[in-house]
Structures are given as C-alpha cells and as structure tokens.
Structure 1
Amino acid sequence: MTFTTAPVTVVVDGGYELAEGGRWADGRYVYVDIISGRLFELRDDGRPTPRQLARLDVPLGAVAPVSDAPDVWIAAAGTGIALLTVDGALEWLDRPEERTAVPSRMNDGVADPAGRFWAGSMAYDGTRGAGCLYRTDLDGTVVRVLDGLTIANGPAFSADGTTLYLADSAAGTILRCRVDALSGDLSGGPETFARLGGEEGRPDGMTVDEEGCLWVAMWGAGEVRRYHPDGHLLHTLSVPAPHPTSVCLHPTDHRLYVTTARHGVTDPTPASGAVLTVPVPVGGTAACIWRGRY
C-alpha cells in the first residue's frame, strides 16, 4: 500500500477546549466537546459548518447511535451511561462513577459489532488506578469490565468484534483484549499491545481500519500513528496541533478525520481545538450502533 504524506486541512476551525469521540454515523461525522458537554454533527454534503445537536450540563465523553431510534444516542456522560434523547434530555441507565472514592467522570466510548456499548472513565485529578472500563449490554445493564486504569481512552474493535484495543493514556500503554463475541466477556486478562510515553506522546483516541490496522491519536506529540495488528509501527502522520484526541476514517472516501484540543496547550496553534482531515490510502467503517431496547 502506498502511503505518502498529504496536506492536512482544517474542516472545522479551532476553539473547542477538548474535541473528542469522532465517529461516522448515518452519513454524518459526529463528535463531542467533552468539557462543555456539547455534541456536534458535520454532514457529508460539502457544507463546512457543524451543527450542535445537544448541550448537557455534564461532561460528554462520547456517543453511539441507538438502533431503530433516529437522533437518539447512548452516551458516556457525567458519571455514567445514559440515553440522550432528541429533546436533549438524559435517561440514565447507571451512574457508576458516583460511587467512586474520588470525583470522576466518563471518558471515550464506542459500540462494538455485536451492539454493546463500551466506555472508559477517569478521575478528574488523574488519580492513578481510579479509571475503569464499562460495558453496556443490550438490556441496559452496565457492567464494570476492567479497573485499575488511570485514563481509559479510545476503545476500538476489530471488524469481527473479538479484539478490543484500549488506551490507558496516563500510563502510556495500549492494551489488547480478546472478547467473546457472544457474551462480551473478556477472554483472559489484557495484554500490552504497545508501550508509549514521554516525548513521543501518549495514546488517546483510536480506530481500526478496513485492513485491521490500528490508528492512534498521540496526545502531546502532534501526530497520528498506524500500527499493524502484530504491534509494529507502520506509519506516522504529523498534524499541526500538539494534542490530537481522536481519529476516524470515512467509511467510503479515504479520509482520516482528527479531533484536537486546546486544553493543556500553552501556545495553541490555529489547529488546536479544531477538526482536521487528511487523505489516506485506506478506508474505515461506519460507527457501530447500540442494539439495546429503547
């Protein structure tokens, strides 16, 4: 596969404090601004102006579409998992992070090919080991799958749903877990897929492309990395913002979308807090949906 450096384009101007969670769903690119609790869409029709879909009074980590319920989302928000309805209201399924020893919130999340929703959490002050990974089953039950994490980030699944990649950003590690596609249970403990950190940045949002390779936004490094399933680094793309936060591949047009943050940047670039795009020679898939009852 030919992979050359291509120009990066700003498709939505900077200004978001912590843009994250970019996904393609139903012909639109959806993403959040975590700290302000806002959800946006960018239609795939050439219009560059995003539309705000919701604004919450709690942080909004990520959303996934809900089966047979247009404009309803399952959301990792505030201290738990909720259904975000068309009127902007939250119907809570569970708020497990209210029962933690330190103030915490939900972070990034994604639906898997079987229709379950997975989301991580973190302590506001970054307390080591306070983060968890949760799975929301089709009956709405929220299950704690892993604990002892610090900043659980970027869940991403292989196309068959049997491999889960999970970043612990503070620890600088990407974990790989085997998943029972029928039950959603992990088959054994997680293994270390990659160990990163220091000057090379820390892993944040991730996605798997149509060839099974893992793309990783590298917070603090101003780059996106692509890894082979065996763990070796294939390519590195530089982006004009120090804190890329999530990556998403267009399902039909070979474009990579990258959200970025202004949060924690001493001297923001014009692309800090923006949505960027760059042509790449490989495609992705549309976001999976939560197939629970609504």
Structure 2
Amino acid sequence: MTSTAASASVVVDGAYELAEGGRWFDGRYVYVDILSGRLFELRDDRHDVGPIELACLDVPLGAVAPVSDRPGTWIAAAGTGIALLTPDGTLDWLDRPEDRTPVPSRMNDGVADPAGRFWAGSMAYDGTPGAGSLYRTDLDGTVVRVLDGLTIANGPAFTADGTTMYLADTAVGTVLRCRVDPVSGDLVGGPETFVRLRQEEGSPDGMTVDEEGCLWVALWGAGAVRRYDPDGRLLDTLIVPAPHPTSVCLHPDDNRLFVTTARYGVRNPTATSGAVLSLPAPVRGGPACSWRGAL
C-alpha cells in the first residue's frame, strides 16, 4: 500500500529546525527540537491548546523518557551525555561520555526499553564516520557504551518483549537488529543487518515497533515512512509531504501515525517542514516505556 501526501495533516506547524523523538506517554505526545534544546508536549485531550513547551536547555536535546514514579522528571539524551531533567528545567548529569571523544559530538535519539533501561545514540557534529556510539543507562544510573563505530546512531526501537532492538545508522543507510538479554540488557551476539537502503531510498532515521511487531522507519531525504515485517520484508510505504521525516510514533488508542519533520537542510521549506504531521495508519502502537531507575 502507498499513501499519498494528501492524507497527511499538519498537527503542529512549528517551524522546528530539527523536530525529533516523538513518543506517547500517559495521554500526551512528547517531542523535541534537537538543536534548540526544547521539549514539547501535546495533550491528547486538549487539542485546542497546541504544543506546550516543557523545557528549554542550553544544550541540544536528542530525546527523553519519563522517569517512573517521579512526575515531571525525564531522563534525557542531551548535550554530551545522559541527565535527569527535573521539573524546573535543571539537568542532573549521570555521565557525559561524549566529552571524552576525539571529535566534538552530541547525543541523538533515545528510548526506554520494556525493562526500564534507557538507550541513546550519539554522533559527531561533522558526521565523522565511526565516531558515534550507542549507550545504555542501567537502573542504578550507570551509563554503559554498548556499541561504537557507528556514524549517526538513531532511532532505537524495541519489540514489546524487550528481546529485540532495532538501531539505525543513518549515514550509512542501515538498520541493525540486535538481540538483547531482557534481564541484563547485554547484547546477545553481534548486531545483524536488518535492512540496507540505497542512497536514492533515503536514510533511516527515527523508528518504532507497532502492535503486530512490525518496524516503522522514517526516511530522511526521501519524504517517506516505511513499514517492515519482522523478516525485513517491506509491507507499506507512506508518502510524507516533507523531505526530511525524522521520527515516527503510532497512537496507542487510535489508528494514527505521528511524524516529526525537519527544516534543517531544506532549501525552500514549507509549512510541513519542521512540523508534526498525522497520517492514517493500519495499526496502533504502544505507549512508550519509562526509565525505572532508583537513585
């Protein structure tokens, strides 16, 4: 099935430079504008209000997940590391591993897994090949480098049982599949290539797994979102009216796909570049997980 651009509606015409990290938490859609360091929410029950700015940081903000049992507190992939973002906008750093890299780098997309750990990738500002890493933040707050040698680590996405993680390396056009021990969080064996995209197909960015276990991938540069079954077979392609879709999120109670997009790198941006879009979808997703750390 291929959808057309006419089926997409603009939920937020935010003129964001690099909107990313869209997730559903507790009846609200939460997303970031990476380069401006801002965190936003849309309440599902207050469509008339529009986006509410929850935080504005002085460092880039790649993604967040809520902290269990601490309302208003987030774990954030921000700046050069992982921090707790408190309700007053303060960052309480757990670690800043990208301070110790040879080239200037920042954190990128991230997500909590079903066991309550937080995973986030990194990238060099200049896109240096192999300078990116994937980190896992355990329940005791320890930040562990799980993979290195990546270029732009993006869109970690987990299956509902937490045993499979998908990870995009945007710059090289690959989606990796990793087996995860749900108890320890360790990778079981090395990552394997799930999908490899040609340059003309776009670059894999944000991802999510739907209720049927299929993977949705935003394709930067291609103005499209793809859905793959667990065997890597392409099922659907949805056309997005913006060249740079950055993240995908399925509503847990409605058949809608939310897509963030970017103005970054677009010569003649329209209202759909740097926006939050909504498209009809054949399936639903699940609410995003929380970090269940006990500090």
- Verify: 1:17 aligned to 2:17, yes or no: yes
Shift of 1:264: 0.7
Q: Distance in 1 between matches of 2:48 and 2:136?
A: 35
1:194-209 to 2 correspondence within 5 Å? 194-209=195-210
Q: CA deviation at 1:26?
A: 1.0
User: 1: CA distance between counterparts of 2:271 and 2:143?
Assistant: 39
Q: Which moved more, 1:209-218 or 1:277-286?
A: 277-286
Hey, what does 2:26 align to over in structure 1? 26
1:264-279 aligned at under 5 Å gives the runs 264-279=265-280
Change (3 A) 1:293 1:234: same
1:61 is matched with 62
* Alpha-carbon distance between aligned partners in 2 of 1:214 and 1:231, rounded to the nearest angstrom: 9
Q: Which runs of 4+ in 1 moved over 4 A?
A: 2-6
Q: What is the DSSP-based 3-state SS (H/G/I as helix, E as strand, rest coil) of the residue aligned with 2:171?
A: coil
Indicate whether 1:40 and 2:23 are aligned.
Answer: no
Is the Cα contact below 8 Å between 1:3 and 1:280 reproduced in 2?
Answer: no
Please state how far the C-alpha of 1:4 moved relative to its aligned partner: 6.0
TM-score (norm 1): 0.98
**What is the CA–CA distance in structure 2 between the aligned matches of 1:98 and 1:158, rounded to whole Å?**
31
For the 8 Å contact 1:34–1:59, the answer to whether it is kept is yes
- Superposed displacement of residue 167, structure 1: 0.1
Q: Percent identity at matched positions?
A: 79
Matched, 1:168 2:169: yes
Whether the 8 Å contact between 2:168 and 2:175 is mirrored in structure 1 is yes
Quick check: 1:111 aligned with 2:116?
no
2:62 alignment partner, SS class: strand
List per-residue Cα deviations over 1:8-53 (Å, max 9, x = no partner).
0000004000000000001100000000000000000222510000
Kept in 1, the 8 Å contact 2:3–2:237? The answer is no
Please show how residues 66-215 of structure 1 align to structure 2 within 5 Å: 66-215=67-216
CA distance in 2, matches of 1:256, 1:99: 38
Q: C-alpha offsets along residues 118-162 of structure 1, whole Å, 9 cap, x if unaligned?
A: 000000000000000000000000000000000000000000000
Report how far residue 293 of structure 1 moved. 1.4
- How far has the Cα of 1:197 moved from its partner? 3.4
* Counterparts of 2:179 and 2:227, CA distance in 1: 20
Measure the CA separation in 2 of the matches of 1:27 and 1:49: 14
Which residue identity is paired with 2:133? C
SS at match of 1:97: helix
| C-alpha distance in structure 2 between counterparts of 1:239 and 1:47, whole Å | 24
Distance 2:198 2:14 in 1: 26
Q: Which runs of 5+ in 1 are unaligned?
A: none
Contact conserved, 2:2 with 2:237, CA < 8 A, in 1? no
> How far apart are 1:269 and its partner, in Å?
2.3
What is the identity, as a one-letter code, of the residue corresponding to 1:227? Y
Structure 2 CA distance for aligned equivalents of residues 265 and 26 of structure 1: 33
3-state SS, counterpart of residue 170 of structure 1: helix
2:74 and 2:86 in contact (8 A); partners too: yes
Equivalent residue number for residue 287 of structure 2: 286
Q: Distance in 2 between matches of 1:47 and 1:193?
A: 41
Q: Check whether the contact 2:262–2:274 (CA below 8 A) recurs between aligned residues.
A: yes
| Other structure's SS at 1:290 match | coil
Task: Tell me which amino acid in the other structure corresponds to 2:222.
Answer: A
Q: Aligned-pair RMSD on alpha carbons?
A: 1.1
Contact 2:117 2:136 in 1 (8 A): yes
Change (3 A) 1:262 1:3: closer
Structure-1 residue corresponding to 2:51: 50
